Structure 1
Amino acid sequence: MPPTPRLAVGDEAPAFSLPDADGNTVSLGDFTGRKLVVYFYPAASTPGCTKQACDFRDSLAELNEAGLDVVGISPDKPEKLAKFRDAEGLTFPLLSDPDRTVLTAWGAFGEKSMYGKTVQGVIRSTFVVDEKGKIEVAQYNVKATGHVAKLRRDLAV
């Protein structure tokens, strides 16, 4: 299988319209005029994904004050996202991409190494989209723990 194409700084962010944990449609265009952190994670309620989501939750006020909104996207169904949101007190949208179309368009689904094996799956990735819909930051294969703190340092937030 060929490697998944990756986004780079300056690229147009691929549009999306996905259901959130409550089944409401959230689109990239909803955030026009604001910066948006879009992060892709493998599965709700798993240890690494929970740590990452809670780090975003705990940093959300500072990110919002700096003009950044946050959305998380995974292949989970809205019902699972709702349980995850409620269990962890998450206050930003979690979006459902079960057919992995958006994950693939953003280069966040494809071959990755897991426990020494090459597998197909979600590539933990984080992007910052600027006010005009261009990629400002593109980070692939990020670590679940410590990643939000690094992103805040990189963005001086």
Structure 2
Amino acid sequence: MTEQQLSPGDDAPEFTLPDSEGKNVSLSDFRGQSVVVYFYPAASTPGCTKQACDFRDNLADLNGAGYQILGISPDKPAKLAKFAEKEQLTFPLLSDEDKTVLTAYSAFGEKKNYGKVYQGVIRSTFVVDPEGKISAAQYNVRATGHVAKLIKDLNLVF
């Protein structure tokens, strides 16, 4: 892995990416708010769908606790739009086709699957505080149960 993994206290790498409608969304748009930025391999795959639906199902509580949600994958905006519509996802899904942001967050790199080593998206979640600093960095998270664990880790009670 070429990039160093991020840790709490690090500056969150700034980004501007197109959302599912082709509109640019920047991390700086959320300055003054807490943001959960999660990276996932591919829209409409079983694990990514489960994870996105978990965020959707907990969105009102997370927003109520002051957390905005941003999902980022290397998918094209059109694929993200279909995914958002099919699963009724109301938080921004951002397209990082050239993997620049994935790389900046060390969420793209070497993975192993059934003994094979390859380059891919490392399912990761970051909490960015209102000042733009990383307050939590979680790598290699599981798609299932991740949102419940995140809520617990953030000491949120709903």
1:62-77 matched pairs, under 5 angstroms: 62-77=61-76
Moved over 6 A (4+): none
Distance in 1 between residues matched to 2:101 and 2:80, nearest whole Å: 17
1:12 corresponding residue in structure 2: 11
The alpha carbon displacement at 1:3 in A equals: 4.4
Distance in 2 between residues matched to 1:63 and 1:82, nearest whole Å: 22
Provide Cα deviations, 1:10-67, integer angstroms capped at 9, x if missing partner.
0000000000000000000000000000000000000000000000000001100110
TM-score (norm 2): 0.97
Q: Percent identity?
A: 69
Distance in 2 between residues matched to 1:150 and 1:116, nearest whole Å: 28
Unaligned runs of 5+ in 2: none
1:121 corresponding residue in structure 2: 120
Give the stretch that moved more between structures: 58-67 or 111-120: 111-120
The alpha carbon displacement at 1:118 in A equals: 1.4
TM-score (norm 1): 0.97
Distance in 2 between residues matched to 1:55 and 1:116, nearest whole Å: 30
Aligned alpha-carbon RMSD (Å): 0.8
1:154 corresponding residue in structure 2: 153
- SS class of match (2:137): strand
The question of 1:102 aligning with 2:101 is answered yes
Aligned 8 A contact 1:57 1:90 in 2? yes
Residue identity matched to 1:132: E
Distance in 2 between residues matched to 1:115 and 1:126, nearest whole Å: 24
The alpha carbon displacement at 1:4 in A equals: 3.4
Give the stretch that moved more between structures: 51-60 or 112-121: 112-121
Aligned 8 A contact 1:21 1:82 in 2? yes
1:38 corresponding residue in structure 2: 37
